[in-house]
A and B are shown apart, each in its own frame.
Chain A
């Protein structure tokens, strides 16, 4: 068993909503991330999936301290990042990098590619003068860009090329951990595979650990070692990729998996789907008990009352659902669906 690179304990990220100008007071909070517990192992890719607005991007940003978490611990190399002052955090930042979703918005349009990739080196005093230039060209080569383009501006590149620039920038300081915030969602399908392959190659070559945030289950399955499914600021289920797809335990995961199209019309016709009704409740006022109970086809009274514990149902397979304690209910309540998914 490899050791954990990052350990997250009871991570909460609440955004206060203020009212009034002179006498500003907090009227409520958006509970974007509300109590996460998991580990990211050295060298693995942890996929983080969920609907939009479930807090997956916030989780990524809170881990690398782009947002300072409201509560909880993020341990990295034995230190709690949340407790460090900005000054103490600065030298650690080079280890924690991020690749953004939008390859258009994430590159400064007024800076050359050379500056975009080279600036982090200067900020962290990793190189100076000619060394910066040399390292930038080396990085461009690594991510598959022609080093001759170093003086060009972002608008002169295609979406895929820009994403490569973003990756080169993230790699510049030789980080150990990279948050990939939907890095392929904005790209053409034909380019997505190239970028995924590049990221896998880089992971092997530089021993990187990824937190891969996505809403595309197929892409996540391909790249991830383990997958965590988030719903309304909480992790519903977490297991290795195979288990999540083949024997999901949480009703929400089952619904997500049943929505993935299967490229075979006969199977597609036969299988039954769990179609969730209603919308995701507001994270300002999440439902009591299990946050999923308002949309869960199997919910019973305990779900409306108690918050389910996130615990190990099978070795390495964590899930937060009361049904785990009462396995009979799944089959009894909605037999057709359970059979199809199971």
Chain B
């Protein structure tokens, strides 16, 4: 596992550094959640629509390892399927945010001038708003709480942080000699920006993206908890919400989805911390 991760890291970093114990623990969780999301239909003991109206709000038993919910659905099954929502929301939001943020931030930092002014003022406006509040507002306005709406709402404000990070990195990178050398060679502007500069600033972006993933999963859970998540899918946040109503009666209903969210977010954050240590340019050794 650790070997594979190290392989994935950019050249020049993997030889002299390695991921710490917590980061590997985090990576294991991340991979586990990913596999669960992928293999949910095969792993789940029951079908997604399974309901046993005669056995509602039961505690853990041999038939239902994690108990049943208010409708008699199997909580383990719902949690396993819930991983899909988490992974999809996390991946999609982070992909959209990083691509938009990377492009706009790179353009802003490299060209400067009025483009920079306009884009940075825009990011400031977006960042002045609490992201989750904006998402709630957007979903409320569209009146369509679906998976796409959640991803869209989280992406609208999410890219701003990446744009600012990338801009700062590009600013420090664009006057380096190798960029000037590329200009002297007659490289096209886009080629200089995206083939020469951007690969050199990816390390902090990758780290930011891991934390962003955890943030998106948490935000999706929050939205679902508030009833603004995807309605037709079992999301961890929605399960938590349901469990909260019966918390005094059957605490396991809220505890298991809560643990799923906690461990996933924790795992991703551990992995992000580890990646930050490994990808830190100061840790790069020159031979």
Binding site for B on A (CB under 8 A): 21, 61, 64, 66, 89-90, 93-94, 96-98, 100-102, 105-111, 119-120, 123-124, 153, 155-156, 166, 169, 173
Q: Out of B177, B184, B187, B191, name the residue touching A64 (CB < 8 Å).
A: B184
B162 to chain A, nearest CB (A): 20
B200 close to A123 (CB less than 8 A): no
Contact A169 to B186, CB < 8 A, known contacts A21-B117, A153-B11: no
Q: Out of A64, A97, A107, A155, name the residue touching B178 (CB < 8 Å).
A: A107
- Interface residues of A, dominant DSSP: loop
Q: For B10, what are the chain A residues with a Cβ–Cβ distance below 8 Å?
A: 110
Q: For A156, what are the chain B residues with a Cβ–Cβ distance below 8 Å?
A: 287
Given contacts A93-B185, A105-B178, A155-B287, 6 further A-B contacts (CB under 8 A): A66-B183, A90-B186, A102-B177, A107-B178, A110-B200, A155-B284
B200 close to A106 (CB less than 8 A): no
A97-B3 Cα distance, complex, nearest whole Å: 43
Q: Which residue of A lies closest to B285 (CB)?
A: A155
The bracket for how many chain B residues form the interface is 20 to 34
Q: For B12, what are the chain A residues with a Cβ–Cβ distance below 8 Å?
A: 109, 153, 155
A-B contact count (CB 8 A): 67
A66 close to B186 (CB less than 8 A): no
B11 close to A106 (CB less than 8 A): no
Q: For B184, what are the chain A residues with a Cβ–Cβ distance below 8 Å?
A: 64, 66, 93, 96-98
- B146 beta carbon closer than 8 Å to chain A: no
Q: For A21, what are the chain B residues with a Cβ–Cβ distance below 8 Å?
A: 117
Q: For B103, what are the chain A residues with a Cβ–Cβ distance below 8 Å?
A: none
Q: Which residue of B lies closest to A97 (CB)?
A: B184
A328 to chain B, nearest CB (A): 48
Q: Which residue of A lies closest to B180 (CB)?
A: A66
- B176 beta carbon closer than 8 Å to chain A: yes
B200 close to A100 (CB less than 8 A): no
A96-B187 Cα distance, complex, nearest whole Å: 14
- B282 beta carbon closer than 8 Å to chain A: no
- B199 beta carbon closer than 8 Å to chain A: yes
Q: For B117, what are the chain A residues with a Cβ–Cβ distance below 8 Å?
A: 21
